[in-house]
Structure 1
Amino acid sequence: MLTSLGIMLLFGLIFSEAAKRLRIPALVGMLFAGVLLGPHVLNIIDKTVLSISGELRQIALVIILTRAGLAMNLKDLKKVGRPALLMCFLPACFEITGYILMAPKLLHITVLEAAIMGAVMAAVSPAVIVPRMLKLTEEGYGTKKGVPQLIMAGASVDDIFVIVLFTSFTSLATGEQVSLLSFAGIPIAVISGVFIGIITGILLNKVFYIMHLRDSLKVIAMLSVSFILLWAEQKSILPFSALLAIMTVGGTLFQNNKEIAGRLSIKFSSLWAGAEILLFILVGTAIDINYAMKAGFSAIAMILIALVFRSVGVYVCFIKTELKRKEKMFCMISYIPKATVQAAIGTIPLAMGLNCGKIVLTVAVLAILLTAPLGAFFIDMTYKKLL
């Protein structure tokens, strides 16, 4: 296991540096390293590591979302208002609609199967987006109108909404009843996630004030609390978003003590250097190139058409706002990348024995290969001009 982790980190560093020298996003190199080392090519990584891949990816997400929270001014997010709320679900709804309308014709599947595929595909990737929005915040691009903040918040809630829809559609496909309470749980999860995050952040701030811990110990305390929140999300009767709560904890600390938040943000940035490599290599290991090669033009066309639907959804979120056309275009570009959720749930329909399982996984794999590097590339290339 330790040998596998060492190989992953070493290959991740080498391939990410190679990608940078070719002037493409580092994550492309990391994804490629994951594909190469994974079970579908060289099969070097220990099965023990792959068996805890989900937990390792979750740790990486906790680190980057905490770092995002520590740089997030909640007042700026409040100023954005309605668009931030709409970005949490409207683009996903538009994209799922695109799959429902077009996938039966292009991929020869049923409407319900198209809805399942759309739910897998409609989630945006916080792992790709959040680090880039943090970079924009640090450099001061788009911060006056809260553009990076609303994109980060939307990306974290977007996943909750999509996973609830995915669970509902797969339940229909297997003949189970779908309760309206599961949909009512979405706003409850968002509100309770923010509330729990604020309370936890206030308590942590008081603990840090009383105990005078070193910054390294504060980081350990925050990570421990985050892991407990993830556990509580699984055990809680009341639905709440642990990832949103984790980001809100950081935002609350920023509101209460900007100096401590700034120092902790630097610490989490250092942690992210290693966590990022593990995250994208593990995403890469889930990619089966054989599936992608068999998909053909129809699957690629479907992904691109759905992205057009998604972009229209993003644009609708900003109707009658102060954002200029360039800023709206940047928000559309920022909502392109897909990776983490597709890698996590793309295999589930196949494991459930659904007829659409193989094609859903194929499209999910292709989407990661296409949108994660392209989205990251266009964000990096356009933010200075568009913001």
Structure 2
Amino acid sequence: MTLCLAIAATLLTFGALISLLGNAAVPPDGGIFQLVMLTFVALAFGFLASLCKLPPLLGMLIAGIMLKNVGAFNLEGTYLDAVSTLRKLAMVVILIKAGLGLDPLALKRLSCTVLRLAFCPCLVEAVTVMCAANLLLRMPWLWGILLGCVLGAVSPAVVVPSLLGLKEQGYGEDKGIATLVIAASSLDDIAAISLFGIFLGLIFTDQGGNLTMLILQGPIEIFIGIAFGLCYGLLIVYVPHREESNVKIWRILLLLGGGILSVLGSERIGFGGAGPLGLIVAAFVASSGWFSNPNNANITKTVEGFFSTAWVIFQPILFGLIGTEIKFSELETSTLLLGLAVLFFGLCLRVATVWIITVNGILSLKERLFVSIAWFPKATVQALLAPIALDLARETNAPEEMIHLGEQVLTIAVLSILVTAPIGAVAIKFSGPRLLNQMKNEQS
């Protein structure tokens, strides 16, 4: 009966889309049809993965990879902008969910560890990748550090939902492990993206712009993100008033609208790294303010429940679209093995760095091992940054050598997604219950 209802709902959806949008929704080439198909297939693969006791996002990634490489997902033109926007909207939802789930007491207790975790592993991996790429691939130093910046970022799209899943089961809550990793991940991405911009500017000197501005980009983004998050978070703590009749709806709309403004608006003004950080801060400040009043508890849980439900819809969209970034035809065979070695060396030093910088904290050996495992999946930032150097080389009619280097950066970045995203998701899922303490729900 359920299957029949699902089939009927699917047919009804397609019928409505075709009626409203015409050729854009007509299979197999309609852009809307392809997006809807990707969502349904990703949902199905995610469900199959969960039946196999694997993270659903693994199945969703595989769905995107499969559809792209069999030629069933080929969007062009304006639809590429739509894909990018959908991916960002999905990130807005998961970042709000992450911010609402941060523990203020744990964040205060782990603030120094957050800062070390945000910057040290990223920098160590970037330098390691630079050296390995120069040694193994004969890649120039500047291109090597550029590749290191691409690979140095952790993926919130993989880490955040995986950590939140463990958090909901109570794992690591005694030490605030989820809060530690989620808070550090946004700063880690800012560091990687900012350094990438600096070295990209040095390589393409004509496009580099003001070097001083490139260097200041990271600190400015951190300042803008925190300032926006604090101001907007405080605003929605008090507006609307908790006695407002539709306060739940207003809080949801204000969080969602502010999230879209933060993530998309920051990109418009050239400070894209500030958006995700600002959104996490805003959601965290708002949640802390709401929970400070016991009368707000039920309202806040309703808001959290809405974004948890929204994530069920957006999760297959996000990971399905990330999967479509992996095109086997663009993977250079000659680069794959050496690229895998470069990736391996970078990850080893990254994990070792995480282990070292958490040595004097409050984490146990098992918890330090878990944080090390949780700190290496890659996906969204790599999908974002990987093609930029190659596109710029082609647009500026750069020498063939630079185009080839851009292709190598793209190949290794795609390889990093293919290897670390599924392995990282599985490792987090299965190591969490074994390495973290579980806090029982008071109701259980």
For the aligned pair, the TM-score class normalised by the smaller chain equals over 0.9
Equivalent pair of 1:137/1:148 in contact (CA under 8 Å) = yes
Using the TM superposition, name which of 43-52 and 112-121 deviates more: 43-52
Q: Which amino acid aligns with 1:5?
A: L
Structure 2 counterpart of 1:307: 347
Structure 2 Cα separation of the partners of residues 339 and 13 of structure 1 = 19
Taking only aligned residues, the RMSD between alpha carbons, in angstroms, comes to: 2.0
Gapped regions of structure 1 (runs ≥ 5): none
The number of aligned residues is 386
Structure 2 counterpart of 1:318: 358
1:35-68 deviation line (CA, Å, top 9, x unaligned): 2222x43143443433322221111111001011
TM-score normalised according to structure 2 size: 0.82
Structure 2 Cα separation of the partners of residues 376 and 232 of structure 1 = 30
Are residues 351 and 236 of structure 1, via their aligned partners in 2, closer, same or farther at CA, if it must alter by over 3 Å? closer
SS in 2 for 1:352: helix
Equivalent pair of 1:125/1:340 in contact (CA under 8 Å) = yes
Are residues 239 and 286 of structure 1, via their aligned partners in 2, closer, same or farther at CA, if it must alter by over 3 Å? closer
Query: Is 1:221 aligned to 2:254, yes or no?
Result: yes
1:185-212 deviation line (CA, Å, top 9, x unaligned): 4234224322321221121121131643
Structure 2 Cα separation of the partners of residues 263 and 99 of structure 1 = 45
Structure 1 Cα separation of the partners of residues 95 and 271 of structure 2 = 22
Using the TM superposition, name which of 336-345 and 251-260 deviates more: 251-260
Structure 1 Cα separation of the partners of residues 339 and 142 of structure 2 = 17
Structure 2 Cα separation of the partners of residues 293 and 118 of structure 1 = 19
Structure 2 counterpart of 1:360: 409
1:289-342 deviation line (CA, Å, top 9, x unaligned): 123361332111111111011112212321321211111111110011100011
Using the TM superposition, name which of 254-263 and 197-206 deviates more: 254-263
Deviation at 1:215, TM superposition (A): 2.8
Structure 2 counterpart of 1:245: 278
| Equivalent runs, 1:314-353 vs 2, <5 Å | 314-353=354-393
Deviation at 1:357, TM superposition (A): 0.8
1:88-143 deviation line (CA, Å, top 9, x unaligned): 11110010011111111212211111111111111100010111221222222222
Structure 2 Cα separation of the partners of residues 135 and 237 of structure 1 = 33
Structure 1 counterpart of 2:303: 264
Structure 2 counterpart of 1:199: 231
1:71-90 deviation line (CA, Å, top 9, x unaligned): 11223201112110111111
Structure 2 Cα separation of the partners of residues 75 and 191 of structure 1 = 22
Deviation at 1:237, TM superposition (A): 8.4
Gapped regions of structure 2 (runs ≥ 5): 1-30, 292-296, 394-401, 437-444
Structure 2 Cα separation of the partners of residues 299 and 236 of structure 1 = 34
Deviation at 1:184, TM superposition (A): 3.4
Between the aligned residues of both structures, percent identity stands at: 30
TM-score normalised according to structure 1 size: 0.94
Deviation at 1:270, TM superposition (A): 0.5
| Equivalent runs, 1:88-167 vs 2, <5 Å | 88-167=118-197
Which of the pair has the greater relative contact order for Cα pairs under 8 Å at 6+ separation? 1
Query: Is 1:183 aligned to 2:215, yes or no?
Result: yes
Structure 1 counterpart of 2:240: 208
Structure 2 Cα separation of the partners of residues 188 and 328 of structure 1 = 31
Q: Which amino acid aligns with 1:310?
A: R
Q: Larger radius of gyration, structure 1 or 2?
A: 2
Deviation at 1:347, TM superposition (A): 0.7
Structure 2 counterpart of 1:50: 80
Are residues 133 and 73 of structure 1, via their aligned partners in 2, closer, same or farther at CA, if it must alter by over 3 Å? same
